[in-house]
C-alpha cells in the first residue's frame, strides 16, 4: 500500500502510462522479457517502478533495479519516485559511480548502467533483484547494450534455477528492432507495449536559411522574439555545450532582467590562504598565461574514464553576436532563465522542475540532457539549434576530439516533442527543411563509435573469452575489438595468444587482468594501481588516477566574458590559478611529473583545506569535480585494500607530498600504464617544415602533436613525454603531460 499525497495522485493520473497500468502489468506477469515504448514524458521512468512495487515485485532482499545511462537521471529519478510514493531514500535509493544512498531496506534502486555491469561481475545471476529495468534503451549507450546482451543470458539461467528474473527494456522511440529482431539476442521475440503518448500537436517551423556558425546568436534572437510576441508558456532551448549555455543565459538575463540585480556571482577577493601543502609561491610573470577557450562536452555517462570530459573548441564560434551589442534591456518583461547541463550542481538542476516566479516566463537553456532523460514541465516553445556536441574517437589511435555535428532526425523529433507535453506547442528549428532531410535517421550506437578496451576487460573478467560471439545488439567493429585486445595484451591484462592469428580476439584474462578489472577505472590506470605497491606509492597513484579519471578538475577560466566586470574577474582568477599551478607542480625533480604533479598537488591542497566550495572557488578548482575525486579515492582505496589485504590504506586528508624517490617511482608507474602514449620532441634536423616547430612525434600518428597550452610543461618542452590523452582542436594537443627519461 502506497500512501501518496492527493496532489501527487492527481499529477500521476495525467500521465499516459497510468491508463496502461493493467496492460503493462499483465505483460510483465506473463513474460520474462517485455519492451515498453513511449514518448518521453509519458511516465515510464517514474511510474513503471511504482507499478511493480504495488504489484508486490519488491522486497528488501529482492529489489527492483533500474539502470540509466546518465547520472543526472539516476539521482533525480530516485528522488522523484521516493517523493511520489512518500517513501524514504532508504527504500527508494540510487547508486552512481561516485556515490549513493542504498541501504539494506532498499527496494527500488536507480543506478547507472555501469554500476549494474560491475554488480554482474560480483554476482552473475543478480540474485539481489527480482526485476531489472533497462531505461532509455534508445540512447544505445555502450553499457546499456552490453547489459541487454548479458541479461538475455541471465534471465533464462534464473528461470532454470527457479528464481525468475523479469527484464523490462524501456525506450522512447519505436525503433527497437535491434533488440526484437535479433535472434541471437532473444530467440523468442519479446512483446512490445506501446504507450500512446498524450502528446499535443507541435507545429514545427523551419528556418528558411541555415545560419553558418552563429547558431547561438540565432537562438538568442529567436528567444527574444518568442518572449516579446508570443503567449505565455515556457521556452526550452537546445544548445551544444556548457559554455554556450552559460553565455546565452547571461545574454538573455541581460536583455530581460528578472529582479534588479543580474550579477549574483560574488567576486572573490584573494584571501589569505592556509596552504601547508606546498607553501612557496614562486614569482610569476603576469603576462605569461595562455588564453585558450575551453568548452565542455556534455557527456555524463558513468563508469567510463573518458566521460564527463571537456574539450577545447578553438574553432567554435561561441557567437556572442557582435551584431546586437546594444541589446536593450527590458525589465518590464522578466524572463526566468535557467541553465541545464550534466555537470551542473544537482541543486541547480532541480530548479527547472519548479514553477517560475510569478509574473515571469521560464526559459531553460539546455544541452541534450533535456532531450529524453529529463522532462521539464510547462514547455510550450522549443528552440532547436539542430546540433549536438559529441566526443569522437579515432578507434585505432584513440585520439579524441569534440565536434559539433548535426543531430539525427530522431533526435530532432524528440526535441520538438518537448513542446507538446501540456498543451499544443511550437518548435523552431534553426535550420532549413532541406538540411533536416539530410540528417541521419538515427544516431549510431555508442559501442560502434569508441574504443572498447575497458568493456573488453570487463567482459573477459566475466569469462567471456570469445568476445566476438557475444550477443551484442549491435557489435563493435573487429578493428576496435582487435585494438582493444592488443592494448590489453600489452598491459599484461590478457594472456598472449600462443600462435598469432588463430587465437586473436579470444585471449583469456591473466591474473593481473583480474586484479585490474576490480578497479573501476580505465585499464591503463588500473595497471598503474596494480604496480604501485612498492615505495608506499599507492596513496599517490590512487590520487593521480582519481584525478585523471574524474577529469577537468580545473575551472574553465578562458571563457568569453559578457561584461567588463566579468572579464576582470576572470583575469584575476587566471593570474591566481597560474600561480597555484606552479605551486602545485612542486620543485626540482618533482616538476618532471608535470601535469600529474599539478593534479596531485591540487587535490592535496584542496583536501588539506577541507575541500570547501570557498577554497575551490578561490583557486580555480571545480568543487563538484573535487568531491568526485574524494569519493573515487575512497572507492579505489577500498578496492586496493580488498586486493592486498595487508596494505591497510586509508585516505589521508593531510597527505604529505611525495619524496623525490617516490616521484621517480611514480614516473615509472605512469610510463608503465601509458606506455603506448609516449611522444618525442622533434629534433632540430627534422624541422623541415614550420608546422613541426615545438612539435612532438608519436608512434601512431603521422601528424605533429603539441603540448597543450594549459600544461605546466608547455614551455619546458622535455625531450620525451607521456600524455594522458590527445585531443584534437585546431591542432593535436597532448593533455595530462609528464616528462620521461629515455632509458
Ligand atoms: P518518461 O520516462 O516516460 O520520459 P518520466 O517518468 O520521466 O517520463 O516523467 C513523467 C512526468 O514526471 C513528467 O511530466 C515530468 O515532468 C515529471 N517529473 C519527473 N521528475 C520530476 C521532478 N523531479 N519534479 C517534478 N516533476 C517531475
Ligand atoms: Mg524516462
Which ligand 1 atom sits nearest the alpha carbon of residue 77? Answer: 20
User: Which residues partner with 131 through β-bridges?
Assistant: 64, 166
Ligand 2 centroid distance, CA of 170 (Å): 8
57-71, 100-114, 152-166, 197-211: the lowest-pLDDT one: 197-211
Q: What's 509's DSSP letter?
A: B
pLDDT value at residue 98: 74
Q: Which ligand number lies closest to the CA of residue 38?
A: 1
Which is the closest atom of ligand 1 to the Cα of 40?
A: 4
pLDDT of residue 496: 83
The DSSP secondary structure of 371-432, one letter per residue, reads: HHT---TTEEEEEE--EEEEEEE-TTT--EEEEEEE--HHHHHHHHHGGGSSS-EEEEESS-
Question: Which residue's CA lies nearest to atom 13 of ligand 1?
Answer: 41
- What separation in Å is there between the alpha carbon of 628 and the centre of ligand 2? 25
In this predicted structure, what is the pLDDT of residue 263?
A: 38
Tell me the average pLDDT across 686-702.
Answer: 83
Ligand index nearest the alpha carbon of residue 134: 2
Residue nearest to ligand 1 atom 26, measured at CA: 353
What's residue 742's pLDDT? 63
Predicted confidence (pLDDT) at residue 481 exceeds the cutoff of 70 = yes
Alpha helices by DSSP H, listed for 450-537, are: 453-461, 478-490, 511-518, 523-531
Asked if the model's pLDDT at residue 105 lies above 90, the reply is yes
Instruction: Return the pLDDT at 175.
Output: 82
The Cα–Cα gap between 110 and 636 comes to 22
The backbone region for 378, taken as left when phi is positive above 0, alpha when psi lies in -120 to 50, beta otherwise, is left
Are the C-beta atoms of 211 and 218 separated by less than 8 Å?
A: yes
Output the CA 109–ligand 1 centroid distance in Å: 17
Testing ligand 1's pocket by substitution, the residue of 13, 43, 200, 351 carrying the most ligand atoms inside 8 A of its CB is 43
The least confident of 431-435, 581-585, 646-650, 710-714 is: 646-650
- Position 31 scores a pLDDT of 97
CA distances from 587 to 80, 390, 722, 742 (A): 50, 38, 19, 21
Q: 26 vs 423, which has greater pLDDT?
A: 26
Most confident of 236-250, 380-394, 593-607: 593-607
**Cell numbers describing residue 675:** 606506455
Query: Is the confidence at residue 547, as pLDDT, over 60?
Result: yes
Ligand 2 centre to CA of 687 (Å) is 55
| Structure-block grid coordinates of residue 591 | 616538476
Q: Whose CA is nearest to atom 21 of ligand 1?
A: 80
pTM flag (> 0.90): no
Instruction: Answer for the pair 466, 438: CB distance below 8 angstroms, yes or no.
Output: no
Q: Taking residues 486-514, what's their average pLDDT?
A: 83
**Nearest in space to 576 (alpha carbons), one of 537, 621, 611:** 621
pLDDT band of 688, cuts 50, 70, 90: confident
CB 706 within 8 A of CB 716: no
Give the cell for residue 143.
Answer: 553499457
Between 272-286, 291-305, 410-424, 455-469, the lowest mean confidence (pLDDT) is in 272-286
Q: What is the structure's pLDDT at 738? A: 96
d(CA 551, CA 53): 38
Strand order in the sheet with 234-238: 202-206, 425-429, 379-384, 234-238, 361-366, 335-340
How far, in Å, is the centroid of ligand 1 from the Cα of 563? Answer: 36
Alpha carbon of 373 to ligand 2 centroid (Å): 5
ipTM of model over 0.90? yes
Give the number of the atom of ligand 1 that is nearest the alpha carbon of residue 42.
3
Q: What pLDDT does residue 190 have?
A: 95
| pLDDT at 319 (0 to 100) | 30
DSSP 554: B
- Average pLDDT of span 9-31: 94
Q: What is the pLDDT of residues 122-146, one digit of tens each?
A: 899 999 999 999 999 999 999 999 9
Mean of per-residue pLDDT scores for the chain: 85
Ligand 1 pocket, residue 349 CB under 6 Å: no
Q: CB-based burial of residue 595 (10 Å sphere; 0-12 exposed, 13-18 middle, 19+ buried)? A: buried
What's 366's DSSP letter? E
Instruction: Give me the residue label for grid cell 560491475.
Output: 118
Residue 583 has pLDDT above 70, yes or no: yes
Please give the pLDDT value at position 80.
94
Instruction: Specify whether the CB–CB gap between 421 and 43 falls below 8 A.
Output: no
Percentage of the chain surpassing pLDDT 70? 89
Q: Is the CB of 377 under 6 A from ligand 1?
A: yes
Distance 40 CA to ligand 2 centre (A): 6
Ligand 2 midpoint to CA 468 (Å): 31
Judged by average pLDDT, the poorest of 2-6, 173-177, 293-297, 370-374 is 293-297
* Shortest-distance atom of ligand 1 to CA 376: 16
- CA dist 224 and 324 (Å) reads 12
pLDDT tens sequence across 323-354: 444 456 777 889 999 999 877 777 788 889 89
Report how far Cα 252 is from the mean position of its chain's Cα atoms. 27
Assess whether the C-beta atom of 15 lies below 6 angstroms from ligand 1: yes
Nearest atom, ligand 1, residue 38 CA:
3
Sign of CA dihedral 71, 73, 74, 76: positive
Amino acid at each position: 500500500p502506497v500512501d501518496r499525497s492527493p496532489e501527487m495522485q492527481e499529477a500521476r493520473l495525467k500521465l499516459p502510462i497510468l491508463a496502461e497500468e493493467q496492460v503493462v502489468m499483465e505483460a510483465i506477469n506473463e513474460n520474462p522479457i517485455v519492451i515498453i515504448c513511449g514518448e518521453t514524458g509519458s511516465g515510464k521512468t517514474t511510474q513503471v517502478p511504482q507499478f511493480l512495487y504495488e504489484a508486490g515485485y519488491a522486497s528488501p532482499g529482492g529489489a527492483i533495479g533500474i539502470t540509466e545511462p546518465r547520472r543526472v537521471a539516476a539521482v533525480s529519478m530516485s528522488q522523484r519516485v521516493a517523493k511520489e510514493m512518500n517513501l524514504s531514500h532508504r527504500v527508494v535509493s540510487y547508486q552512481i559511480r561516485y556515490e549513493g544512498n542504498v541501504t539494506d531496506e532498499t527496494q527500488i534502486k536507480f543506478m547507472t548502467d555501469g554500476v549494474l555491469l560491475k554488480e554482474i561481475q560480483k554476482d552473475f545471476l543478480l540474485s539481489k533483484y527480482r526485476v531489472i529495468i533497462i531505461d532509455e534503451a534508445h540512447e544505445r549507450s555502450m553499457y546499456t547494450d552490453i547489459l541487454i546482451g548479458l541479461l538475455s543470458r541471465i534471465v533464462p539461467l534464473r528461470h532454470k534455477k527457479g528464481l525468475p528474473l523479469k527484464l523490462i527494456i524501456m525506450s522512447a522511440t519505436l525503433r527497437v528492432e535491434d533488440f526484437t529482431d535479433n535472434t541471437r539476442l532473444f530467440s523468442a521475440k519479446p512483446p512490445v507495449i506501446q504507450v500512446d503518448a498524450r502528446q499535443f500537436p507541435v507545429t514545427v517551423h523551419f528556418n528558411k536559411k541555415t545560419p553558418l556558425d552563429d547558431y547561438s546568436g540565432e537562438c538568442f534572437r529567436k528567444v527574444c522574439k518568442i518572449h516579446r510576441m508570443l503567449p505565455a508558456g515556457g521556452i526550452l532551448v537546445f544548445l551544444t555545450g556548457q559554455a554556450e549555455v552559460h553565455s546565452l543565459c547571461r545574454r538573455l538575463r541581460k536583455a530581460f532582467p528578472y529582479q534588479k540585480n543580474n550579477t549574483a556571482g560574488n567576486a572573490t577577493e584573494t584571501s589569505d590562504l592556509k596552504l601547508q601543502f606546498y607553501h612557496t609561491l614562486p614569482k610569476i610573470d603576469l603576462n605569461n598565461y595562455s588564453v585558450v577557450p575551453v568548452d565542455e562536452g556534455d557527456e555524463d555517462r558513468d563508469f567510463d574514464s573518458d566521460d564527463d570530459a571537456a574539450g577545447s573548441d578553438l574553432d567554435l564560434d561561441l557567437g556572442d553576436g557582435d551584431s546586437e551589442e546594444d541589446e536593450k534591456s527590458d525589465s518590464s518583461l522578466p524572463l526566468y532563465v535557467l541553465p541545464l547541463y550534466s555537470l551542473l550542481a544537482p541543486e541547480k538542476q532541480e530548479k527547472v522542475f519548479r514553477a517560475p516566479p510569478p509574473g515571469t516566463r521560464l526559459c531553460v537553456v539546455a544541452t541534450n540532457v533535456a532531450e529524453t532523460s529529463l522532462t521539464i514541465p510547462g514547455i510550450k516553445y522549443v528552440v532547436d539549434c539542430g546540433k549536438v556536441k559529441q566526443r569522437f574517437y579515432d578507434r585505432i589511435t584513440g585520439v579524441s576530439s569534440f565536434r559539433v555535428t548535426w543531430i539525427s532526425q530522431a533526435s530532432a523529433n524528440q526535441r520538438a516533442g518537448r513542446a507538446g507535453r501540456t498543451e499544443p506547442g511550437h518548435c523552431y528549428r534553426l535550420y532549413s527543411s532541406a538540411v533536416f532531410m539530410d540528417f541521419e535517421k538515427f544516431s549510431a550506437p555508442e559501442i560502434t563509435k569508441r574504443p572498447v578496451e575497458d568493456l573488453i576487460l570487463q567482459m573477459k573478467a566475466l569469462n567471456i573469452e570469445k568476445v566476438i560471439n557475444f550477443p551484442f545488439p549491435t557489435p563493435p567493429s573487429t578493428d576496435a575489438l582487435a585494438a582493444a585486445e592488443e592494448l590489453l595484451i600489452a598491459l599484461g591484462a590478457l594472456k598472449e595468444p600462443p600462435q598469432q592469428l588463430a587465437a586473436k580476439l579470444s585471449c583469456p584474462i591473466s591474473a593481473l587482468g583480474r586484479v585490474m578489472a576490480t578497479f573501476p577505472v580505465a585499464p591503463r590506470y588500473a595497471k598503474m594501481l596494480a604496480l604501485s605497491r612498492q615505495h608506499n606509492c599507492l596513496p599517490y597513484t590512487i590520487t593521480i588516477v582519481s584525478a585523471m579519471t574524474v577529469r577537468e578538475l580545473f575551472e574553465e577560466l578562458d571563457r568569453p566574458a559578457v561584461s567588463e566586470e566579468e572579464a576582470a574577474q576572470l583575469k584575476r582568477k587566471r593570474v591566481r590559478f597560474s600561480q597555484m599551478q606552479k605551486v602545485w607542480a612542486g620543485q626540482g625533480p618533482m616538476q618532471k611529473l608535470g601535469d600529474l604533479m599539478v593534479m596531485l598537488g591540487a587535490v592535496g591542497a584542496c583536501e588539506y583545506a577541507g575541500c570547501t566550495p570557498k577554497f575551490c572557488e578561490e583557486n580555480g578548482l571545480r568543487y563538484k569535480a573535487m568531491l568526485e575525486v574524494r569519493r573515487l579515492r575512497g572507492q579505489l582505496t577500498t578496492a586496493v585494500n580488498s586486493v592486498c589485504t595487508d596494505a591497510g590504506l586509508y585516505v589521508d586528508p593531510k597527505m604529505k607530498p611525495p619524496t623525490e624517490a617516490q616521484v621517480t617511482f611514480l614516473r615509472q608507474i605512469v610510463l608503465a600504464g601509458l606506455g603506448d602514449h609516449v611522444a618525442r620532441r622533434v629534433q632540430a634536423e627534422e624541422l623541415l617544415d614550420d608546422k613541426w616547430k615545438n612539435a612532438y612525434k608519436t608512434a601512431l600518428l603521422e601528424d605533429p602533436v603539441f603540448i597543450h597550452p594549459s600544461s605546466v610543461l608547455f614551455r619546458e618542452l622535455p625531450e620525451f613525454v607521456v600524455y594522458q590523452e590527445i585531443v584534437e582542436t585546431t591542432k593535436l594537443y597532448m593533455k595530462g603531460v609528464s616528462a620521461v627519461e629515455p632509458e
